[in-house]
Every structure is written in structure tokens, then in C-alpha cells.
Structure 1
Amino acid sequence: MRAVRALFGRRARLRWLHLIIGGALLMPYFLVGTVLVGMGGGGKQVFSSLPAQLAAFALALPMAAVTGFFPLVRPLSVAAARALCGVPPALLADGPARTRQARVRTAGWYTLHLALGGIVSGCTLALPPFAVAVAVLPFFAGPRNTWPAEGPSVLREPWAMVLAPVAGVVMLAALALAAAAAGELLARRAPALLGPGTEDRLAAAERRAADLAVRNRLARELHDSVGHALSAVTLQAGAARRVLDRDPEFVREALTAIEETTRRTVGELDAVLGLLRRDGEPDEEGVAYGPGLDALGGLLAHCGVPVAYEREGDPEGPGVVRPDVSREAYRIVQEGLSNALRHGGGQAPVRLLVAVREGELEIVMENPLGRRPAVARPGGGRGLKGVAERAVLLGGRTGAGPCGDVWRLTARLPLTGPGAGTGTRGRAAPEAGTKGPGMGTAGTGTEAEERR
């Protein structure tokens, strides 16, 4: 049963069809070969001479090999091999053949396909009628009467008539076996001839890396913008609920902070969706999406935690910090504030320093350690990883961990923009932010992996 399925099953039939297609593709080259053989033979009949047909076949293969060097031959051959030969898609290359080595291998595959296809197609056209005629010799007088007189006399012997049906079936089975063997040969050679080379693997790895970079960027944007807003709103709403009856002024401040936070986050969410619409590419001017250090005042004023903000070198001034560095710095500060909201203990202000020093933008954030361990949440622990990724992409570095009784987050980002490292020293008010309604509601751990 397995032998019958191997010769006449669905896969065998598809591979046979693939060979027939190869034979059809060989026909133009074969006809050109017959013309050349006919011209060289002084106009003698080519189709009535087996040596002449073999010569035309031999001339057709080099012409087919030349065609195989065209880049688009490989995607067409790969599509046919996937659909008809049953070769797993992962073993075959994608796209046109662009290197010399890939084109040579493609030409080898194309020539092999057309050569085997031409042989199997020719046998498929000629052998079945002959096999049927041999099989019916004992049963019908017509085939016996029309059998060529110059044919082998042994075919007219009685015992030959008895074996004729068996001979016909054997010939058909041999044809099926030859087609199955040729299809299996093509299927086994396809990964070597149509598979990805070193350049193809490198290009595929680069595409995967680019896709992963876009996904990671979107994940960081959503985590730092929407995640910060949700944390702030949740803590502020919870604090307002607890003092709703005894401190209406506190509730009013909390609702104002929630309103401002959600309004700002809607704008940031539009920027993230813009990344999705543009497939993660920057805008036409090359300016990064999202707010920068010039929007830091609005973030600190409604972040839900008091902030003592210091700045040096006018980092918020125009032209001092590159737009992409300014944007990443804003996100790093935003993540630090989210950590302070989730994990900070007490009402002491968070210390924030943003300074331009010696061609670098330095960010230092400190908030008190909480009295209770942080609550582990499924899927948590991505905040500090995102901060590190942002810095590394800019060629910078970060650090985070407990330092005495405070948690310290530091980041150093290189600057190459005009005016970097210049500007006057300035200090904001000791507390640029308002007293945060949600402070002191969550504890903190002392491990970096627990902070987001």
C-alpha cells in the first residue's frame, strides 16, 4: 500500500506535474536546438532521428542554464518547489537571486528541473500509448494486424501474447517509478540549490532585527507613556477616594492632575499610533516622535509626586540637545517618576537633576525607598530594561539601584547637537511639582528587577 501511495499518491502526482511543467519550459529551447541540429545536418529530418533529438536536447540545456541566471527565476522556481515538490518553506530562499553564487545555484536547479522534466514529459507522452497497445495485444486483433512487419518476431509468439498485458503494466509502473524518482531527486536537491545562502541569511536576520527594533520601540513608548499615565491616575484616584469626605481640596487637586495626565497621554498615544501608521519610521524631517525636555514642566506639575528639579546647562533650551536625545531623556524621566509613584515611600520630594556636561546629558533621579516590598505583577520588570535600551541606542549608559536610603536612577546620553554643553547654570524652584495625592500608597523592593 505504501508503494502504491509513493508512486500514485497526491505528493507523487504533484511532483509529476512539476516535471511536466519543466518539460513544457524546455520546449522552446528544444525547438531552437532542433533548428540548429537541422542546419548542421544539411536539412535532414530531426524528429525521425533519435541521435538528432538527443543532440537537440543537449543543445537546449546550456540555453536553459543561461536563462537561470536571471534574478527572477529563483522566486518562480521556489514557488513551484514549495507548491508541487513539497519542500518546506523554511528550507528555501525568498526573493530574487542577487549574488553570483545564488544565481549559479539557481541556474543549476533550473537546468536540472528542465532536463528531468523533458525526459519524464517525453516518456509520459510516448510510453502510455505503447504500453496500452502491448497490453491489449492478446484481446484485440486490430493491434496485432497493425503491428509493424519489421518488428521483433518474438512478439508474435504465443507465450509473448500471454505476457503482453503484464509487460504493459510493468512499463506503466516503470514510468511512474521514474517520475517518482525524478521528483524525489528534485525535492532533495531543492534546499541545496534554492536554499538561502550566507547573504540571504544575513538579509533575513537584518529584517528580523529591524522588525524587532520597531516592536521594542513601540513597546517602550506604550510602557513609558500609557503605563505612567495609568499608574499616576490609579494612585491619584485611590488617594482621592480615601479622603473624599474630609479633604475636598485634595480631591479637587487629584481630579485636576488626572485630567491633565490623561490629556497629555492622549497626545502621546497619538504619536505612538503615528509610529504604527508609518511602520515605525521617523517623520519626513527625521525628528523623533513624542515630547522632549521642553515638555518636562507639564510632566512634573501633574506627575502625582513632589519633585525637586535642578537643571544645568539649559537642557530645555532650543538647539542644546538633539531632538532624539531630548525625547529619550523625557521618557527616562517619565519612567523614573513611574517608579517613584509605584514604589516610593513617604512624602519627601523626588530629586531630579538634568545637566549638560562635557558633551553628555546627565540625568539623576533619587526617590526614597519604600517601607514595604514591591508587589510583583505578571509581565512586570520592563521599565528599567526599556531605559537601558533607550540609552544604548543613543550610545549612552544607565545605572539603577539602591544607594543608602534612596533609589537612584542615572543616565548619561551623548550629545552632538549645536550648543551642547553650553548655556548658563540655572536652578528651578525647590519643588517644581505639586504635592502628589498618591504618594505613600505603594512600597518598594531593593532589587532592580522588581522596578518598572
Structure 2
Amino acid sequence: MRDFARFLLGRRARQRWIHLVLGGALAMPYFLVGSVILGPVTGSTDVFGSFPLQLASFGVGLPIAAVTSLFPLTRPLESAAARWLCGVDADRLAPGPARTRDEKHRTAAWFTLHLGLGGIIAGMSLALPPFAAVLIALPLVAGLRGTRLGLPEVLDHTWALALAPVVGVASLLALAGCAAGCGALLARWAPVLLGPSPEDRLAAAEARAADLAVRNRLARELHDSVGHALSAVTLQASAARRVLDSDPEFVREALAAIEDTTRRTVGELDAVLGVLREGDAPGTAPAPTLAAHLDGLLSRTRAGGARVSATVDADPEALPPLLSREAYRIVQEGLSNALKHAGERVAVTVRIAVAGGNLEITVENPVTGPAPSRPGGGHGLRGIADRARLLGGTTTAGTAGPAGDLWRLHVRLPMKGPA
């Protein structure tokens, strides 16, 4: 019973009732135009005095309303009204004007439906409440009886007087039921007639996919850049602390490497975060590449005490910019994983070569024990695999060697692959 009462007179039902009354108000000019047309056609001088002619005027006005619904602002305004008053989710409605023929046809159908149902409910809302009030008060107010108000003579009978309040209340309930039903019908049809077209949905899906791709790329950049910097700085500071008294020259080199690492990382971080700041231009720090920054990466890693040997059998200057950038990040993350899991004194071997039209990157280090677990860790290899897959390459990682005492990361990137 409570749900039924909420359906008839709840907040949502009242808002939809207002939406219908607004449709009736919008229908009035078209109704007047229809009456002007029907007057000369039927030869009637009093169209408003005939209920059939009123209905015919209303019917003539609706096709005219359908034509005027082609005005560009019709769909945005109707979508806003359906969202606020009918309770339709915004993502199920198209915010912009109708552009294609199908969208215009659906907008015309919606506008006609809104004004048609709105005109009926608005007319009932004007006529039924006074009539119901008279019927409810009829047994109590003797002055309302008789034919002075145009009421039928049968209402003078005792049994009719007893039933009049019941009929009045039933009329009000019927009005509320019709308004609630028509409001629910409009709410159901709004996404169908005012919703986005398949082209709009495809464009929105593509925009979301592009946004997710950008976010994933930024997440990889932050993980690789900041993660490597923190690992390198931690190892450099730890190594410097241990030899602070015995090897001042090494300490100075480690502090210089820390300074260089943090400065470079802050620049990269600013470049990445600049993309996320709405209205801001991206940061000016250039993306690191294999050609320009590999030597610096290796020297900063060695400053922490790691023994890194690198063999480059390729010309980094000849690599495409995108491939050079992604290859640098892969080498950076490979070194980070080796330092995190094998220790700061680990011997790491890096090989970069061109074979069979592919750029092959291999990072190896000895396995010193089980890999430590880190809260939130485990994204490095996944990021490398994502980078390789986007370039059309492949990634393999795992133990190698006769005794399984090596950890090997091998990435193959096509020299000419998908951008």
C-alpha cells in the first residue's frame, strides 16, 4: 500500500506530474493554431464551445509541434527536463542537438508524445479537481444542489448524494493514477527517443578507451620513473652510509648521483603530472630515450654499488623516437627489478642488440633467494609487458641457466611495429 501511494503521490511522481503540465503548457500555442485552422474549415464561429472541435484542434496542433521540434535546442532542453523531472540518468540521454535524420525523427516523436500526454494531463488537472471538490462537498452544502451548477438532476436523490463524495475521491485518484502512469511512460521512453545514437555511443566508448589508455600510460611512466629513482636513491644512500668514514670520494659520487637522479625524476614527474592538470600545458621535460639517456641511467645505477655491465650492439641514434623511449623505460624497469630483488651488490648484465628486424633487450642477474613481497608491488613486469605489447613485441621473464640460478628478462620489440 505504501509503495502504491508513493507511485501515485511520491516526490518522483509529483515531479513527473509537473513535467506533464509543462508539456501541456507548451501544447497551448499549437492548440490555438489548430483552432484557428479548424474554425474556417468547419465553418464554426465558436471552436472552444465544442468539445469535439477542441480535441480536433489539439490533434491538428500536434503535427505542427513535431515540425517545430526540429529546432536545434529542442533536444537539449527536453533532455534536461527529462533528467531533472523524470529522473532519467544523464548518461542515458544525448546532451547535444539532433544531427542525423534518425535523431531528428526520434526527437520529433518525443516532443509530440510529451506535448500530447501533457496536454491531456494538464486538461484533466484543470477540470477534475473542481468537479471532484463539488461532488465531495455536495452532501454537506445544500446550495450546490439543483441544476444551477449544471449538475444532473439525479444528484438530488439521496442515494446519489451518498455516492457523490466517493465518485469525487475516485476522480482524484484516477487523475493521480493517469498522471503517474503517463509520467512513468515518458521516463521509460526518454532514453529510447532522446538517448544517444549508436554513433554517439561509439564515440563515447572511444573517448573512454582513449582516456583509459592515457591513464594507463601515465601510470606506467610514474611507476617506472619514480620507482626506479626511489630504488636507486635508497641504494646509493645506503652504500654511502656504509663507507662514509673510509671512502669519502665514493660518498661524494653517491651524493652527486642522488642529486642528479632526484632532479631528473622531478622533471619527469612534472612532465607526467602536467598532462593531468586541467588547463595546464604538459611539462617541458623531454621524455628520456635510449639514445640520449642510457649512459646516465647506467652510471646512476652503478653509483649505488651495483656492478652493471652493458653491451650495446645497436645504434641508438637510428631507433625511432617511440621505440627508443619505450626501450629506455624497459631497461630502467629491468634494472629496478634487479636492484629490488637481488640486492645492491648484484652483478647485472644488460644486452641491447638488433636481430632479425627486432630490437632485443636482455637483463640478467643472479638469483640470490626468494623475491621479497612488497605491498602494492608486482606491477613492474606487467608494465614492461604492456609496453612491449603496444609496440607489437613480446616479453619473457623467469629463471634461466643450467641450475636456474639466473633471472632473465628478455624483450623483443619490432623495429617497425604498431605505434
TM-score range, shorter-chain basis? 0.7 to 0.9
Change in CA separation of 1:212 and 1:135 when aligned onto 2, cut-off 3 Å: same
How far apart are the structure 1 equivalents of 2:277 and 2:352? 33
Q: Which runs of 5+ in 1 are unaligned?
A: 418-452
SS in 2 for 1:214: helix
Correspondent of 2:365 among 365, 368, 388: 368
Give secondary structure in 1 for the equivalent of 2:49: coil
Q: Residue 121 of structure 1: CA displacement?
A: 0.3
Which amino acid counterpart does residue 54 of structure 2 have in structure 1?
Answer: Q
Q: Is the 8 A contact 2:397 2:407 kept in 1?
A: yes
For the residue of structure 1 that corresponds to 2:80, the secondary structure is helix
Q: Deviations over 1:392-414 (max 9, x none)?
A: 22333333333314333333334
| 1:215 to 2:212 alignment | no
After TM superposition, list the pairs within 5 Å mapping 1:367-446 onto structure 2: 367-404=364-401, 405-415=405-415
In proportion to residue count, which structure has more helix?
2
**In the alignment, is the contact (CA less than 8 A) between 2:313 and 2:354 conserved in 1?**
yes
Aligned length: 409
SS of the equivalent of 2:323 reads helix
Flag the structure with more relative contact order, 1 or 2, with Cα contacts below 8 A and sequence separation at least 6. 1
Are the equivalent residues in 2 in contact too, given 1:214–1:280 (CA < 8 A)? Answer: no
CA distance in 2 between partners of 1:256 and 1:9 (Å): 71
Q: SS of 1:372's equivalent?
A: coil
Which residue number corresponds to residue 66 of structure 1?
67
Contact preservation (8 Å) 2:243, 2:251: yes
Q: How does 1:147-158 map to 2 (within 5 A)?
A: 147=148, 152-158=152-158
Deviation at 1:129, TM superposition (A): 1.9
State the one-letter code of the partner of 2:122: S
Residue aligning to 1:273: 273
Q: Deviations over 1:139-178 (max 9, x none)?
A: 44544467256x5322333443343333322222221121
* Aligned 8 A contact 1:343 1:369 in 2: no
1:374, distance to aligned residue in structure 2 (A): 1.0
Partner of residue 112, structure 2: 111
Query: Paired residue for 2:160?
Result: 160
Separation in structure 2 between the aligned mates of residue 72 and residue 84 of structure 1, nearest angstrom: 18
Partners of 1:88 and 1:211 in 2: how far apart?
22
User: Residues 352 and 365 of structure 1 are in contact (CA less than 8 Å); yes or no, is this contact kept in structure 2?
Assistant: yes
Normalised TM-score (structure 2): 0.86
SS in 2 for 1:47: helix
Residue 339 of structure 1 corresponds to 337
Cα distance in 2, alignment partners of residues 78 and 224 from structure 1: 45
Q: 1:113-132 alignment to 2 at 5 Å?
A: 113-132=114-133
- Please give the residue correspondences for 1:287-366 in structure 2 after superposition, counting only pairs within 5 Å: 290-293=287-290, 294-303=292-301, 304=304, 305-315=306-316, 317=317, 320-344=318-342, 347=345, 349-356=347-354, 360=358, 362-366=359-363
Equivalent-residue separation in structure 1 for 2:412 and 2:76 (angstroms): 47
Between the aligned partners of 1:346 and 1:306, the Cα distance in structure 2 is: 9
**Which position in structure 2 is the counterpart of 1:232?**
232
User: How do 1:235-274 and structure 2 match up within 5 A?
Assistant: 235-274=235-274
Q: Secondary structure at the match of 2:123?
A: helix
5+ long unaligned stretches in structure 2: none
CA distance in 2, matches of 1:393, 1:351: 25
Shift of the 388–98 alpha-carbon distance from structure 1 to 2, 3 Å rule, reads farther
Residues 125-134 or 96-105, more deviating:
96-105
Query: How many Å separate the matches in 1 of 2:356 and 2:28?
Result: 73
The offset of 1:349, in angstroms, is: 4.4
Give, in angstroms, the shift of residue 123 of structure 1: 0.9
Distance in structure 2 (CA, Å) of the matches to 1:335 and 1:209: 26
Counterpart Cα distance in 1 of 2:183 and 2:299: 72
- Partners of 1:102 and 1:386 in 2: CA distance: 43
Q: What is the CA-CA distance between 1:274 and the residue it aligns to?
A: 2.2
Q: Percent identity?
A: 62
Q: Deviations over 1:365-417 (max 9, x none)?
A: 32222211111112211112112222222333333333314333333334459
- Aligned-partner Cα distance in 2 for 1:413–1:60: 68
What is aligned with 1:448? none
Instruction: Give deviations 1:173-223, integer Å, cap 9, x for gaps.
Output: 221121122122223333443445543443332222112111101101110
Q: Which amino acid aligns with 1:268?
A: E
Q: Which residue of 2 aligns with 1:134?
A: 135
Cα deviations by residue, 1:52-93 (Å, 9 ceiling, x for unpaired): 211121122223333445565444333323322234556555
User: How far apart, in 2, do the equivalents of 1:415 and 1:35 lie?
Assistant: 76
* Inter-CA distance 83–370: structure 2 relative to 1 (3 Å threshold): same
User: 1:49 and 1:281, CA in 2 relative to 1: closer, same or farther beyond 3 A?
Assistant: farther
Q: Distance in 2 between matches of 1:213 and 1:28?
A: 51
Moved over 6 A (4+): 278-283
The one-letter amino acid of 2:361's match is V
Within-5 A mapping of 1:91-110: 91-92=92-93, 95-110=96-111
Letter in 1 for 2:137: V
